[in-house]
Amino acid sequence: MTIDATILNVLRTAEAGISGADLATQLGVTRAAVWARIKDLRTLGYEIDASPHLGYRLRRSPNLLHSDDLRSRLQAGAVIGREVEVFQETTSTNDVVQKLAIDGVREGVVVFAESQTRGRGRLGRSWHSPAGKGLWFSVLLRPRVSSLEVTHITITVAVSIRRAIEAVTRLPAEIKWPNDILVEGRKVAGILTEVQAEQDAIRYVIVGVGTDVNQAANDFPKELRGVATSLRQESGREVHRADLAAAMLQALDEDYGTLQRGDFGALAEVWERACTTIGSKVTIQVGGRRVQGTAESLDADGALLIRTRYGRLERVVGGDVTVER
């Protein structure tokens, strides 16, 4: 961990404050060096009190993404987020992670961008990623699952992202199959899973997550206004993006651990309870095929089972779902 990350970590733990001398001892640097780092953190927007009696105290963190800060909030030993990079602007965070994957970087690295110029969504759509308003990030995974089980990863991520959103905002969030997160029936987050596989073996998976956090209604392009919303619009208050990002990475690390230990069943149970698509009448467009019926359940591979009006059970693994409400 860098000195800045360690300082922020210690300040978060010592809510009542910590003396410059104690901080310097914990970091193994001089008090002057601590003071120099505190000054730098203040210029980034961290409100840190310095008083002769109470020492240093973190009063408020800025609503921006800072890689050291995010790292400092994660468990020691976490896989997801063991390296975090933040770009001001990039084409797509999935592209950046793909380069890292090709370079052989180990799994768990997370790349955020404050804005994306070519953010992409599922089914070849573009993903609107305005600066500083949302959380646009991608994670590199090298999971021990076969390429047939890639849906397990998307389901795991949907479970984690929903839990983090609920924990931080207290808003009730639902999952729309396969991987949209909705609040009050409108989309707040989407997941794009891209896989590099050879025959049946996965070389790596890039999971891109886009969450609309602090947009006002008119920050969305007109065509999205009826279907998309932001956490700020739904909760009525600005959401601290770094708090949400840290909660998402923590949840992802826990749930990815569960998946890697072979307990997909536990995640699928949570997913099924949160997925409002189950039990609904749906129309799914899969390429040129259209499937209509009632979504009954998820099968062991994470595919959706649809009972058509002719009584046949259809298995669907991807596509665009319209849910009748």
| Binding stretches for ligand BTN (CB under 6 A) | 92-94, 116, 119-122, 125, 127, 129, 136-138, 180, 190-192, 208-210
Residue 241, token pair as written in the block: 């993006």
Residue 67 or residue 116: which is nearer to ligand BTN going by CB?
Answer: 116
Closest CB 324 distance from ligand BTN, rounded Å: 20
Residue 9 or residue 94: which is nearer to ligand BTN going by CB?
Answer: 94
Q: How far apart are CA 96 and CA 129, in angstroms?
A: 15
Closest CB 283 distance from ligand BTN, rounded Å: 18
Q: Which residues contact 73 (CB under 8 A, 6 or more apart)?
A: 9, 12, 242, 246, 250
Number of C-beta neighbours around residue 250 at 10 A = 20
Closest CB 224 distance from ligand BTN, rounded Å: 11
Strand partners, 134: 212
- Asked whether the beta carbons of 309 and 275 are under 8 A apart, the reply is no
Taking alpha carbons only, the member of 67, 76, 69, 42 closest to residue 57 is 42
- The single-letter DSSP state of residue 147 is G
Closest CB 26 distance from ligand BTN, rounded Å: 36
Radius of gyration, CA atoms only, the chain: 21
Q: How far apart are CA 309 and CA 173, in angstroms?
A: 29
Question: Which H, E and C letters describe 202-257, residue by residue?
Answer: EEEEEEEEEEECCCCHHHCCHHHCCCECCHHHHHCCCCCHHHHHHHHHHHHHHHHH
Q: Which residues contact 266 (CB under 8 A, 6 or more apart)?
A: 258
Closest CB 40 distance from ligand BTN, rounded Å: 29
Number of C-beta neighbours around residue 308 at 10 A = 12
Closest CB 135 distance from ligand BTN, rounded Å: 8
Residue 37 or residue 176: which is nearer to ligand BTN going by CB?
Answer: 176
Q: Tell me the residue nearest to ligand BTN as measured from the CB.
A: 190
Residue 6 or residue 179: which is nearer to ligand BTN going by CB?
Answer: 179
CB-side exposure of 284: number of CA atoms within 13 Å?
A: 24
Q: Which residues contact 102 (CB under 8 A, 6 or more apart)?
A: none
Residue 115 or residue 294: which is nearer to ligand BTN going by CB?
Answer: 115
Residue 136 or residue 271: which is nearer to ligand BTN going by CB?
Answer: 136
Closest CB 206 distance from ligand BTN, rounded Å: 8
Residue 56 or residue 204: which is nearer to ligand BTN going by CB?
Answer: 204
- Asked whether the beta carbons of 72 and 1 are under 8 A apart, the reply is yes
Residue 94 or residue 230: which is nearer to ligand BTN going by CB?
Answer: 94
Closest CB 216 distance from ligand BTN, rounded Å: 19
